[in-house]
Amino acid sequence: MAKRKRSVGELISSLVFFFMGLWLIREGQYLFSGGEVFKGLIVILIKMSRKQISCGKCVYYFTTHDVSRPWGCNKFRFKSKNLPNHEVRQTTGMDCAYFTMKQFIKSTERRSNGN
């Protein structure tokens, strides 16, 4: 399977996100060393608490049989060649606001062939 080329927009947003993360950590360290411990810790904690959205764990995510557009989002009602969270971030510049975690059922009983 051929590796998908990244668009210029994806590369730019990845670089901006990376450098903003470095800047936030550096700013937190600067505030921390300057005696403003509380502000420094807040800035560093904000950076560390950012969660990555995974479409596979979302209630609205679905897969299609369309080869050119294999993934979709029921909340936004679209199908795409990219994962829906990437499309939303590329279009709006923000993470998906409608991400809702699926409820996974964890069975505590062992499933066997009657043994």
What would the 3-class secondary structure string for 17-71 be?
A: HHHHHHHHHHHHHHHHHCCCHHHHHHHHHHHHHCCCCCHHHECCEEECCCCCCCE
Structural tokens at position 66: 């369309």
Let me know if residue 89 belongs to a domain: yes
Answer yes or no: do 38 and 67 share one domain. Answer: no
Residues 6+ positions from 13 with CB-CB distance below 8 Å: 89, 90, 93
Q: How many domains does the chain have?
A: 2
Answer yes or no: do 58 and 92 share one domain. Answer: yes
Let me know if residue 115 belongs to a domain: no
Answer yes or no: do 86 and 97 share one domain. Answer: yes
Let me know if residue 63 belongs to a domain: yes
Answer yes or no: do 36 and 58 share one domain. Answer: no
Domain residues for 14? 8-50
Answer yes or no: do 75 and 61 share one domain. Answer: yes
Q: What is the tens place of the pLDDT at every residue in 4-25?
A: 666 676 677 677 777 777 777 7
Answer yes or no: do 65 and 92 share one domain. Answer: yes
d(CA 54, CA 57): 6
Instruction: Please state, as a whole number, how many other Cβ atoms lie within 10 Å of the Cβ of residue 76.
Output: 14
Q: What is the tens place of the pLDDT at every residue in 22-81?
A: 777 777 777 767 777 676 666 666 666 666 778 888 899 999 999 999 999 999 899 999
Instruction: Please state, as a whole number, how many other Cβ atoms lie within 10 Å of the Cβ of residue 27.
Output: 15
d(CA 68, CA 41): 45
Answer yes or no: do 78 and 41 share one domain. Answer: no
Let me know if residue 31 belongs to a domain: yes
Let me know if residue 24 belongs to a domain: yes
Let me know if residue 42 belongs to a domain: yes
